[in-house]
Structure 1
Amino acid sequence: MKRFPKLLLLAMLATATSTTLSSCEDNNDNAPTTQEPSGPTDNAGRVILLGDITANRTLRANEKYLLQGFVRVKDGVTLTIEPGTKIFGDAATKGALVVERGGMLMAQGTQTNPIVFTSAKAPGSRSFGDWGGVVLVGRAPINQSLNTEMEGGIGTGFGGTNATDNSGVLKYVRIEFAGVPLSTKDNSEINGLTLYGVGSGTTLDYIQVSYSGDDSYEWFGGTVNAKHLVAHRGWDDDFDTDYGYTGKIQYALSLRDPQYADQSGSNGFESDNFNPGTPATGDNAGLPLTAPVFSNVSIFVTAGAPPVGTQSGSGAYQSAMHLRRNTSTSVFNSVFVGHPEGLRLDGTSTWANVQANTMQMAGVTLANNNTPLRAAGNTSSGAFTDADVQTWFNGTGKNNAVVTQANLGTLGLNANNFNLTAPNFLLSSSSPLLTGAVFTGKAADGFFDKVTYRGAFNGSDNWLQGWTNFDPQNTDY
């Protein structure tokens, strides 16, 4: 065999290697590229989002972003956010993302790569209300004037006549440490996720709001539906519905920290038509009535004594469900544990909706409450009593139940159900909540999956897996 001299062989190999590498570089579409930031950056290298977004824009997962002040997506403009993107809210300017009527937010993460809106503060120093929150504004029906001012000075005018209006997609999205008061006026806050007149063309699915400084979710009118919502360690109410909201929600969870509640009295559900609720005389004048339908909701405060006051918050817990001011909210197949009150039906107009069967409740378990069922807000005309509420709640075929603290163990909740940073909500195999769901009346609607179980979870399907975070305080983003 003819042998090449060693130096010649090395030279030939080097030439061949160089040629091969050159060929790969010319044709490798995945080769690393240097990309300039898509805008001005702060001292942490985050691209600053400021003012109005007036042309279609995409936020990329390989960048981080900082919301300064109100960042508004204008009418006719689409803001797209890639899976895995991190958006931080600035505390000093109370940064918030506001998608105005006619704007679109396409925030579609994945189970393994969710989109995260969070505090700009360092791990360990984050808190309730570090920034504003996410606000969607649509053209669906509301029961107030279409020129009504939005809370917190966000702007004037929301809602319309398009029940199927589309404000975009929020799917596999987390919103953390938002919900901030914007002035000293009452009702002048942004919530974790605020929805003004948002239509049913909008997709809301797999969303977690954690450590909101006000409500975790609030709907002001509109028709948007939702599935798989999580409210974690909020300050005020978990799910607040007002101004004629008529959408449907299935699979919703709240896990509360018993040490934190609001001065107004924190509730799982708070529902109003408006204040004072009547008269309701026509479209945009009290009608449509607030009439959402919830199914498969689990709201947990504590397995211990219900907290009548809080050590670290500004107020106390009140009701698992505070339904008032002519609301017509309906609730099915849901479990509420640990509020001082279970169901508070408030006001004779609300009681009239019960009597008219426009408010429906079945498959509901109220557990570990000091006062499970209460009548409130009576007037001399149409007065009703605690006993009246009990008779209605316990009606034949409804499968509603009241469970005392002493009997809480009979529900078969998970041993880690109330673990604030590493919870597990899957039911034990012997839990009576695995069966007994009721899908009659308003719950017969095709939107609802006709599952057998009550509450947000069965014994095997953990829909929280992969995308939620129950310890965002210590997450390094």
Structure 2
Amino acid sequence: MKKIYSLSMLLLVTFTGFAQFTTTTYRGAFAPAPTAMWTDTWTEFDPQNKVYPTPTVTVSANITTNTTWTAGNTYALGGQIYVKNNATLTIEPGVVIASITPGAGLFITKGAKLIAEGTVSSPIVFTSGNSAGNRNRGDWGGVILLGKGSYNINGGVNNIEGIAPTADTEFGGGATPDDNDNSGSLKYVRIEFAGFTYGAAGSNTEINGLTMGACGKGTKIDYVQVSYANDDSFEWFGGANDCFHLVAFNGLDDDFDTDNGFSGKVQFCLAIKEPSAADTSDSNCFETDNNSTSAAGTSFTRGIFSNCTLVGPTYRTTLPNGGTLNNRHRRGAHLRRNTQLQIWNSIFMDFVDGVVLDGATTQTNATNNTLKFKSNIIAGTAATKVVVAASPTTYDVATWFANNNNTSQASSAGLLTTPYNTADGSIYTGLDYRPATGSIALTGADFTTLSNDKFAANAEFSLKVYPNPSSDSFKFDYVSSSNEKVKVTAYDITGKTVKSIDVDYSEINEQTIGNDFTPGVYVIALKQGDISKTVRVIKK
């Protein structure tokens, strides 16, 4: 029995890097009462008036060796701080980073790591160093994670937007991306008042709250709140990292922006829009592109989001002190430029428009079922629940919406327990986003065809790694409709790469791997273009 238990523990450790969706019966981010909301305790919905300690340590130099920021200190960023040279910055629970330096930001360069793991009672906070009541969007830069994963244009490499390009601002793995790359771990973290504008106004040079540039699946993002960002709250530029329990609160632009081949899984998200704040480029909850030209690229944006509760700005304007609606507030989801994103089991309420299918390539993806908007709820939209934009405008979007098990209701009333303070619409504290009694959100979630692996659209493939277990080497039996090169990577139980090979598709079944492995449990990951598959194997 002891031997079997040890093997089980090995398997558990092995698969911590390969996250799966949690199946629910409810739609939206929260289970019904009496289950507590996962936002309880660690989040902050009045950060303007939160009192933070005065910084005791100012960090002015780049971090080039392993460094720890310790509990009991409050840190200020003295400029654009780069963690580089494959160094790891560890931040202990409860640490506050409160910077008063304009343009300050924390950049985790390719190969480096940020380990910022707070607790539910001691979250880590990145915020403005200005005094309570005097904080604004864009007081400082933001947190930027730069990885070695896939990026579907520009040869697979780019520089983060808004900053002068250097080797330290580069992300993406080029011709040999590593979508299992590790840029670190953020857990129970708040990021407030980020988005400093580095260029002229309107030049699209703001940094997001949390920017993820081609981050791999080794990067862990869980329980992160971004508040009052001066651009997007969360933006993914390519990469494949999974994220869970995200809060986007009163950002200026989009809440969740996915571009350039992002292919990760994201589950349990809350977004809340403030009526008066919107960006000149139009503010959406979801904005998703394959890339700026709608081209196919080397891979598609086909990340999967599930169980999101998204509270738009329109209803709040009818409440006392709720504010005036900025006319640049637009859509719950703007799906455009050849994206193949998937959104499942989510609630969109009180937006101007619900979901917009924009452009011929996007509509083709919807027809081919590579873009999915499935088992969602749209409620209380001021204009239309679902609409097309740009040519062709004759697409039967209503049938597409209905055929994917989506539901709608004219008003958001009765959907959630207490999504607004009706006595004072400007107050965001003490609200309850769980499904109300009798709500249609209590049921209707669908995970039956929600794949935890992402394969190329309409690809005909099969993969077998054999013999398994093996006392010698492992062989491949792989058939695919693609003739692209194949990358095979083997990881040990700690997630360390132990072997990696790149071969032509015609030669993959002539390869072996594992002859020199020590006995133990391994994960073999195969990637070919947009096709990816992991197989657990045992070396005897």
- The equivalent of 1:234 in structure 2 is 251
What is the aligned partner in structure 2 of residue 393 from structure 1? Answer: 401
Distance 2:374 2:189 in 1: 30
Q: 1:80 to 1:305 in 2, by over 3 A?
A: closer
Letter in 1 for 2:265: K
For residue 21 of structure 2, what is the aligned residue in structure 1?
A: none
* Match for residue 308 of structure 2 among 297, 313, 318: 297
Matching of residue 103 in structure 1 with residue 109 in structure 2 = no
The total of aligned residue pairs comes to 386
- 2: CA distance, partners of 1:393 / 1:374: 10
The answer (yes or no) to whether the contact 1:69–1:90 under 8 Å persists in 2 is no
Q: Does residue 341 of the first structure (1) align with residue 341 of the second (2)?
A: no
User: Any idea what the Cα deviations from partners look like across 1:303-345, whole Å, max 9, x if unmatched?
Assistant: 62889xx977975101000011111111100001111111111
CA distance, structure 2, for counterparts of residue 262 and residue 114 of structure 1: 29
Distance 1:306 1:356 in 2: 39
- The higher radius of gyration belongs to 1
What does 1:401-420 correspond to in 2, within 5 Å? 401-405=407-411, 408-414=412-418, 416=420, 419-420=427-428
Aligned mates of 1:263, 1:303 — CA distance in 2: 18
Counterpart amino acid of residue 88 in structure 1: A
Distance 1:315 1:186 in 2: 20
Tell me, in whole angstroms, the C-alpha distance in 1 between the residues paired with 2:453 and 2:149: 21
Question: In structure 2, which of residues 156, 161, 185 is the aligned counterpart of residue 169 of structure 1?
Answer: 185
Query: Which one of the candidate residues 287, 294, 301 is aligned to 1:277?
Result: 294
Match of 1:65 among 75, 92, 97: 75
Cα separation, partners in 2 of 1:148 and 1:444, compared to 1, 3 Å? closer
Q: Distance between the aligned counterparts of 2:357 and 2:152, measured in 1? A: 21
Letter in 2 for 1:85: V
Residue equivalent to 1:283: none
Shift of 1:297: 0.5
What one-letter code is carried by the residue in structure 2 that aligns with 1:177?
F
Distance 2:197 2:291 in 1: 20
Residue 229 of structure 1 aligns to a residue in which SS? strand
Give the counterpart of 2:281 among 253, 261, 264: 264
Query: Is 2:314–2:325's contact at 8 Å kept on the other side of the alignment?
Result: no
Question: Residue type of the partner of 2:415?
Answer: L
Partners of 1:189 and 1:304 lie apart in 2 by 29
The two structures, once aligned, show a CA RMSD in angstroms of: 2.2
Q: Which stretches in structure 2 are left out of the alignment for 5+ residues?
A: 1-52, 455-540
Deviations 1:125-154 (A, max 9, x none): 011111100000000111022442320115
AA at the equivalent of 1:320: G
Q: Distance in 2 between matches of 1:333 and 1:277?
A: 27
* CA shift digits 1:99-143 (9 cap, x unpaired): 000000000000111000010000010111111000000001110
Q: 1:189 to 1:234 in 2, by over 3 A?
A: same
Map of 1:193 onto structure 2:
210
Greater strand proportion: 2
Does the 8 A contact of 2:151 with 2:157 survive in 1? no
Q: 2:452 aligns with which of 445, 452, 463?
A: 445
Find the aligned partners of 2:417 and 2:204 in 1 and give their Cα distance. 36
2:337 alignment counterpart: 325
Secondary structure of 1:371's partner?
coil
Letter of the aligned partner of 1:226 in structure 2? C
What is the rounded CA distance, in whole Å, between the counterparts of 1:391 and 1:341 in structure 2? 17
1:412 and 1:430 in contact (8 A); partners too: no
Offset, 1:440:
3.2
Give the aligned residue type for 2:389: A
Partner of 1:217: 234
The 5 A counterparts of 1:305-320 are: 316-320=328-332
Contact preservation (8 Å) 1:240, 1:271: yes
Shift of the 314–49 alpha-carbon distance from structure 1 to 2, 3 Å rule, reads: farther
TM-aligned CA deviation for residue 186 of structure 1: 3.1
In structure 2, the residue corresponding to 1:350 is in which secondary structure? helix
Cα gap change, 1:358 to 1:276, in 2 (>3 Å): same
SS of residue in 2 equivalent to 1:391: helix
Q: CA separation of 1:150/1:90 partners in 2, compared to 1, >3 Å: closer, same or farther?
A: same
Cα pair 1:416 1:422 within 8 Å, conserved: no
What is the TM-score normalised by the length of structure 2? 0.68
Map of 1:182 onto structure 2: 198
Structure 1: gaps (5+ residues): 1-42, 281-285, 448-477
Query: Runs of at least 4 residues of structure 1 off by over 6 A?
Result: 310-314
Identity %: 41
